[in-house]
Amino acid sequence: MNVLAVNLTGVLVIVLVIWWFWLSEPKAQRVLKNVVDILVEGGTYSPARIEVEVGKEVTLRFLRRDASPCAEKVVFERLGISADLPINIPKEIVVTPAEPGEYSFTCQMQMYRGCMVAKWGLLR
């Protein structure tokens, strides 16, 4: 009886491990790639460097905690995007990097600095 319980527990653990690492992976990955949360606080974006797939739409959700006017705008120079960031309210910016490479984003004075890196083949 005890041996059977141990074996059943073992099988259950294996099934859970397989589900967690393989079967559940596509969903988690898709969510991670489509929406990226970026915290704006203490003079930094975090994460300050994000990797995204070339040609795929991605939502960057900025949450500004820093009340200083320095952080009030985020500018993607290469994409021609400039947006106001309200304090404590997530602001979604949807971008599609058409070419591989680096797309920096900064505040107006370029004190806050971040970089979105577009690469091929991240989703494969």
Binding site for Cu ion (CB under 5 A): 70, 107, 109, 111
CB of 105 to Cu ion, least distance (A): 12
DSSP 87: B
Distance of CA 64 to the CA centre of its chain: 15
CB of 69 to Cu ion, least distance (A): 8
> Between residues 34 and 106, which has the closer beta carbon with respect to Cu ion?
106
Partners of 44 in the beta sheet?
Answer: 41
> Between residues 70 and 117, which has the closer beta carbon with respect to Cu ion?
70
How is residue 70 written in tokens?
A: 């320095």
> Between residues 60 and 107, which has the closer beta carbon with respect to Cu ion?
107
* Contact assessment for residue 91 and residue 27, using Cβ atoms and an 8 Å cutoff: no
